[in-house]
Chains A and B, each alone.
Chain A
């Protein structure tokens, strides 16, 4: 079975500071991992995903995440926060093909950017 834990339901950073949003996963098979962003009253938008290959994944808006199998982690980072980054961020895990296509989402981390 797959599951995701996002540490910290609320994170505040100053504009220009490093953004670090934490995600740990549990999976009985090699996982596919995703980060989505949700702005108020909107659906989810894909930031980046890891399936196979290079463990450092670059996404949109300057975000990146590193898959660390030994730590079962997939933390999201951005070197310099911008006001427009304020949103809810969700980490998700899914199972590979032929084992079901369910996405399991974490409970989300709300990012506040302080001017």
Chain B
């Protein structure tokens, strides 16, 4: 059984650019959640995808968007990057509802200059 993987591990972008982060869910999991963790803070929920559809969204602007593919892997896209977008982006996979544990990947460290 493979765990949650994320790519890339580190990324440096400049203000105004666009970025795509990728996540492969744990085998058998159909739900992927994305979180933003700013330095010294707890993870903040961005959105969740369940069976290729958005299934909940946190307080993030529309320039944060996502996709889930038939194999349940997922992408997080951020347009018009701002300096405050610099953070660790975490992906978590689970099987269905919140009763089930979310398993986290190692994260992608995004730096916006």
19 new A-B contacts, CB < 8 A, other than A42-B107, A94-B98, A97-B97, are: A36-B104, A41-B106, A43-B106, A44-B92, A44-B104, A46-B101, A97-B98, A101-B33, A101-B94, A101-B98, A102-B48, A102-B56, A102-B98, A103-B33, A103-B35, A103-B92, A105-B35, A105-B42, A107-B41
B104 touches A43 (CB 8 A): yes
| Nearest neighbor of A106 in chain B, beta-carbon distance | B42
A73-114 interface code vs B (CB 8 A; 1 in, 0 out): 000000000000000001010111110111111111000000
How big is the B interface, by class?
A: 20 to 34
Q: How far is the CB of B57 from chain A (nearest CB, A)?
A: 9
Known: A95-B98, A96-B99. A43 touches B90 (CB 8 A): yes
Which of B42, B90, B101 has the most chain A CB atoms closer than 10 A to its own CB?
Answer: B42
CA distance A44 to B35 in the complex (A): 11
| Nearest neighbor of B105 in chain A, beta-carbon distance | A43
CA distance A32 to B105 in the complex (A): 21
- Chain B residues, Cβ within 8 Å of A104: 45
B42 touches A108 (CB 8 A): yes
**A-B contacts, CB under 8 A, total:** 70
Judge if B55 is at the interface, Cβ distance under 8 Å.
yes
A-B contact pairs, 15 of them (CB 8 A): A4-B42, A41-B106, A43-B104, A43-B105, A44-B43, A45-B104, A96-B98, A97-B97, A101-B56, A102-B56, A103-B33, A103-B35, A103-B43, A105-B42, A105-B43
Judge if B58 is at the interface, Cβ distance under 8 Å.
yes
B31 touches A101 (CB 8 A): yes
| Nearest neighbor of A99 in chain B, beta-carbon distance | B98
- Chain B residues, Cβ within 8 Å of A4: 42
Q: How far is the CB of B41 from chain A (nearest CB, A)?
A: 6
- Chain A residues, Cβ within 8 Å of B35: 103, 105
Q: How far is the CB of B56 from chain A (nearest CB, A)?
A: 5
CA distance A97 to B97 in the complex (A): 6
- Chain A residues, Cβ within 8 Å of B92: 44, 103
| Nearest neighbor of B50 in chain A, beta-carbon distance | A101
A97 touches B45 (CB 8 A): no
